[in-house]
Amino acid sequence: MPRTSVILPMFNAASTVERALRSVLSQSDPDLELVAVDDGSTDDTPTLLQAVHDGRLRVVTHAANQGISAARNTALRAAVGDFVAFLDADDAWEPDFLLRMHAARGDADAAICGRTVVLPDGTERNAHSPRLGSMSGDIAASRMMTGEITPFPWDKVIRRSAFAGVWYPEDVHRFEDQVVGVIALSRTRSVVSIPDALTRYHVGGGTLTWGRVPKISEAESALAHLETSLGEWLDDPRRRSAFRVCRTLFLMLTAQSAMRSGDDAAAAEVLAGCRRRIDLPMLASTLRRRPVFGVGALILKTMPGIYRRLFTAYVKRQYALS
């Protein structure tokens, strides 16, 4: 039984998947299995997978495209390692990702690392979760809801038992990474967060420009799945407060996606819906726990034109986009 099961979903990823595969199979910690799910690709992805001759690689194929959540669920069902790590087909790990993550983890059930963000023009910058160090799984889950722990799946190693009975919601197509991450961390005893940039996150132009107007129902569905899955865990007042912050952040991100969609009329409708749903308890919790985000939510609710200008300036500064 390998120490780590690496889950790699892919769909029409011929231009990047070799880089992802190489970054996993060349890890300095070789005690792994790589479960690659070809989610109905119609390009050269299947051919590239067939060309890899490594006994640690297992390929599962979907006859038709079912979506990334379904692909991850297929891999989770097939995984046998003590720990699970996720990687997307357009990203990569540093060669010592697994070695350093397990070393940092020690006896903890999960480890979280920093990342190198690779922009479309080749520019690189490092980033990591605002919260570092050791913490309980309960605190880590709460901090992921409040944005103090990254929402990504590919910068974490988590004990596989935390995923027992936990699946990516296949009818939720936005925020599902963060939702499942919160659920899994809430089922761990201890978590370690380190700043080391051990993953390489490649930002494509489509990632930043988006291109479709998001639906508020997508955020609501993700929140409903999270609330139902956590159940009594949310009865604790501090966790419930963190959930209100999570709701605020999901609505802010939905508004931001709408602003970048290019469809001003549809975006205006989404923006208005997000503003209506941000209520006083949400603002109070967000201002108390994440003041900067709380101020942003307040501006979004009361002065959407100013919020748009501030967000546009942020995107331009962070990603060199207009």
- Looking up residue 148, the CATH number of its domain turns out to be 3.90.550.10
So what's the pLDDT on residue 264?
A: 76
Spell out where the chain has E strands.
4-10, 32-39, 57-62, 83-86, 92-93, 110-118, 124-127, 133-136, 156-159, 190-202
* Residues 148 and 258 grouped into a single domain: no
Q: Determine the Cα angle at 223 with ends 207 and 315, to 5°.
A: 25
* Residues 199 and 219 grouped into a single domain: no
Domain total in the chain: 2
* Residues 183 and 119 grouped into a single domain: yes
* Residues 65 and 196 grouped into a single domain: yes
* Residues 67 and 93 grouped into a single domain: yes
Exposed e or buried b for every residue in 270-290, given b needs 16+ CB within 10 A? bbebbbebbeeebbebbbebb
* Residues 233 and 185 grouped into a single domain: no
Comparing CA positions, the residue from 255, 245, 308 lying closest to residue 279 is 245
Cβ–Cβ < 8 Å for 207, 110: no
> pTM of the full predicted structure?
0.93
Estimate to the nearest angstrom the gap between the alpha carbon of 163 and the chain centroid: 16
Which of these three, 203, 229, 263, is where a domain ends? 203
* Residues 26 and 140 grouped into a single domain: yes
* Residues 63 and 192 grouped into a single domain: yes
Q: What domain range is 271 assigned to?
A: 210-319
pLDDT tens by residue, 186-238? 999 999 999 999 999 998 755 444 456 789 999 999 999 999 999 999 999 99
* Residues 24 and 171 grouped into a single domain: yes
Report which residue type is found at 116. Answer: T
Which of these three, 142, 174, 203, is where a domain ends? 203
* Residues 125 and 34 grouped into a single domain: yes
Which of these three, 141, 172, 203, is where a domain ends? 203
* Residues 36 and 96 grouped into a single domain: yes
* Residues 63 and 187 grouped into a single domain: yes
What is the mean pLDDT, run by run of 10 residues, along the chain of 322 residues? 97 95 97 98 96 96 96 97 97 98 97 94 91 98 97 97 95 93 98 98 63 84 97 97 98 89 81 95 97 95 88 64 48
Report the DSSP pairing between strands 32-39 and 57-62: parallel
